[in-house]
Amino acid sequence: MTTLLRRYGWPLTAVIVLLCAWWVVVMVVLPQLVMVDYSFRPNLLPREIGTEKDVWTLANYKTLWSNQIHLAIFFKTIWASCLVTFVTFVVCYPIAYYMAQVARGPKAGLFAVLLVIPYWVNEILRTFAWYILLSRGGPINEALMGLGLIAEPIDLKQGDLGVILGMVYAYILFMVFPLYTAMESLDRNQIEAARDLGASIPRIHWRVVIPHSKPGIATGCIMTFMLAAGSYAVPALLGSPGSRWFTEIIYNWFFEGGDWPQGSAYAFILLLLCLGFILLMLKLFKVRLGDIAK
């Protein structure tokens, strides 16, 4: 606040603060409060709203624990989102390190542009591209048959493989840029000193690069996990009937079942899961929320 006052003065600072407050309250806080209120109410007919039946209840939350299919999908979504986060980190770590400590200058900028260009295309179209790649008549099957690795086309979208691949690709930028930002501030002399002292490459990364990059790793993991757990388009397009995502169940409650209170309860449970994951990352990497915000 002091920096804003010093840079812009009272009038413009007040406008900026009011606009930010309006955005947070109207676009974030109020919708969440309405969702929480809905989640504790029964699904009533319009004429029953406001009557003695319209009271708060935990029945919507109990539904998840009594429905074994939905509960299994919920836990599957958790571990699959964790897997997406881990695979995305493994893929993005060397890319971010190359951009931050090896490429430098114009090469790093060119590499960043090459990463960003595919994301100028709408996410739905990019997901459809993966649908074509993974289909029985797609390029991947054609290549595998051409190499003699398979005798006939296989459906690569069976199970969660297609969903996980699609999500890793869809959210790669949300991991690579926080890692890049954290690694770029690392003094290269520390890496050179560790190498001169006889540290191997894995040990340099484990003892020097990763500890320095903890805020970036935490930020990337939080963003990737939350996007994966809350994704609807990728599972809907790339998932098979046996690989449903929890967001698809929420969608069905809202728009197919017409049960908004039940859908709100499921959505609030998913929100609590994401908040829990944030706290876990903060504790695991021993960083503060302020470090994440940077």
Q: What is the pLDDT of residue 180?
A: 92
- Chain center to CA of 97: 21
What distance in Å separates the CA atoms of residue 231 and residue 167, rounded to the nearest whole number?
8
| 266-284: average pLDDT | 90
What distance in Å separates the CA atoms of residue 260 and residue 277, rounded to the nearest whole number?
25
Q: What is the pLDDT of residue 100?
A: 87
Q: Taking 70 as the threshold, does the pLDDT of residue 8 lie above it? A: no
Domain residue extents for the chain: 66-293
Beta-carbon contacts of residue 212 (< 8 Å; ≥ 6 apart): 182, 183, 185, 186, 190
| 200-212: average pLDDT | 90
**Residue type for position 259:** D
Q: What is the pLDDT of residue 82?
A: 93
132 with 138: CB under 8 angstroms? Answer: yes
Q: How many CB atoms lie within 10 A of CB 283?
A: 10
Q: What is the pLDDT of residue 237?
A: 85
Per-residue H/E/C for 70-111: HHHHHHHHHHHHHHHHHHHHHHHHHHHHHHHHHHCHHHHHHH
Please report which confidence band the pLDDT of residue 292 belongs to, taking 50, 70 and 90 as the band edges.
Answer: low
Query: What is the torsion angle, in degrees rounded to the nearest 10, for the CA atoms of residue 190, residue 191, residue 197 and residue 202?
Result: 140
Report which listed range, 42-51, 86-95, 126-135, is most confident: 86-95
Q: Taking 70 as the threshold, does the pLDDT of residue 254 lie above it? A: yes
Beta-carbon contacts of residue 190 (< 8 Å; ≥ 6 apart): 208, 212
- pTM here is 0.86
175 with 92: CB under 8 angstroms? Answer: yes
Q: What is the pLDDT of residue 294?
A: 60
| 241-257: average pLDDT | 86
Q: What is the pLDDT of residue 3?
A: 66
What distance in Å separates the CA atoms of residue 280 and residue 64, rounded to the nearest whole number?
23
Does the domain at 66-293 match CATH 1.10.3720.10? Answer given as yes
Q: Taking 70 as the threshold, does the pLDDT of residue 13 lie above it? A: yes
What are the CA-CA distances from residue 194 to residues 102, 181, 204, 210, 215 (Å)?
A: 16, 21, 6, 14, 22
Q: Calculate the average pLDDT of the chain.
A: 86
Rg (the chain; Cα; Å): 23
What distance in Å separates the CA atoms of residue 153 and residue 32, rounded to the nearest whole number?
46
Q: Taking 70 as the threshold, does the pLDDT of residue 163 lie above it? A: yes
Lowest mean pLDDT among 53-62, 79-88, 260-269: 53-62
Please report which confidence band the pLDDT of residue 92 belongs to, taking 50, 70 and 90 as the band edges.
Answer: very high
Lowest mean pLDDT among 85-94, 109-118, 221-230, 245-254: 109-118
Please report which confidence band the pLDDT of residue 221 belongs to, taking 50, 70 and 90 as the band edges.
Answer: very high
